[in-house]
Amino acid sequence: MKTTSLLAIASLMFLRTVSAADVEPPVVTPGNHGSAPSDAMVLFDGKDLSAWTSEKGGEPAWKVENGYAEVRESGIMTKEQFGDIQLHVEWASPAEVKGDGQGRGNSGVYFQGRYEIQVLDSYNNKTYFNGQAASFYGHNAPLVNACRKPGEWQQYDIVFHAPKPAADGTVVPGSFTVIHNGVLVQDHILVKGDATTAARFSGATPTGPLLLQNHGNPVHYRNIWVRKLN
């Protein structure tokens, strides 16, 4: 057999030894009913906001009581920076309905401080479609409106792949997949790197903070955890 053939066989054997199919997946103990799996980073367990700062710097002003945090004064962002992630977050819009449209139970989850998945009381509350609950704000409406009633706990399970800056200055798009209360509402939507809020952060970047928005409404949050995917 020729040397080149031997090399080809050897390289194929090497490729096979490192292919993903041969690597045993790590064992993860799953949570129950939305609780964090064993490999998750818990960002808020209902007790304290030690993983967060105010977006203006310093300690968050949000009220923590009865296992939830209530929006106050300014947004909060994680001390940790994230790239591609799976995020679980539970929220409730105020039980006492005030305002309408974008003024009712408005908050939001910003990935990398840039791309907002909208939190809004969209139960019998019309607004523009790419601004209602579970929209990729300003970009894409949800497939359906899966909102629960005001005051009821709701959950988002979100897979985010960050847009990546390329060496030539262009952006490789990322994506959002969002499940709202068990219902698929964003199905691998492209994230092209144009931020919802350009003022605070701009440009595609490998990592950035998660940010929960203050929009002047006392929205509640609980049970927030994340799994890094890269």
Report the interface residues with Mg ion, using CB under 5 A.
Answer: 106, 108, 213
Shortest spacing between CB 75 and Mg ion, in angstroms? 10
Which residue, 23 or 199, has its beta carbon nearer to Mg ion?
A: 199
Q: Which residue is nearest to Mg ion (CB)?
A: 108
* Residue from 156, 95, 158, 90 nearest 123 by CA: 95
Cβ 169 to Mg ion shortest distance, Å: 30
Nearest distance in Å: CB 119, Mg ion: 6
Min dist. Cβ of residue 113 to Mg ion (A): 13
- The nearer residue to Mg ion, 40 or 92, going by C-beta atoms, is 92
Nearest to Mg ion of 133, 226 (CB atom): 133
Which C-beta is closer to Mg ion: that of 40 or that of 55? 55
**Cβ closest to Mg ion, residue 108 vs residue 142:** 108
- Report the nearest approach of Mg ion to the CB of residue 21 (Å): 42
In three state form, how does the secondary structure of the chain look?
CCHHHHHHHHHHHHHHHHCHHHCCCCCCCCCCCCCCCCCCEEEECCCCCCCEEECCCCCCCCEEECCEEECCCCCEEECCCECCEEEEEEEECCCCCCCCHHHCCCEEEEECCCEEEEECCCCCCCCCHHHCCCCECCCECCCCCCCCCCCCCEEEEEEEECCEECCCCCEECEEEEEEECCEEEEEEEEECCCCCCCCCCCCCCCCECCEECCCCCCCEEEEEEEEECC
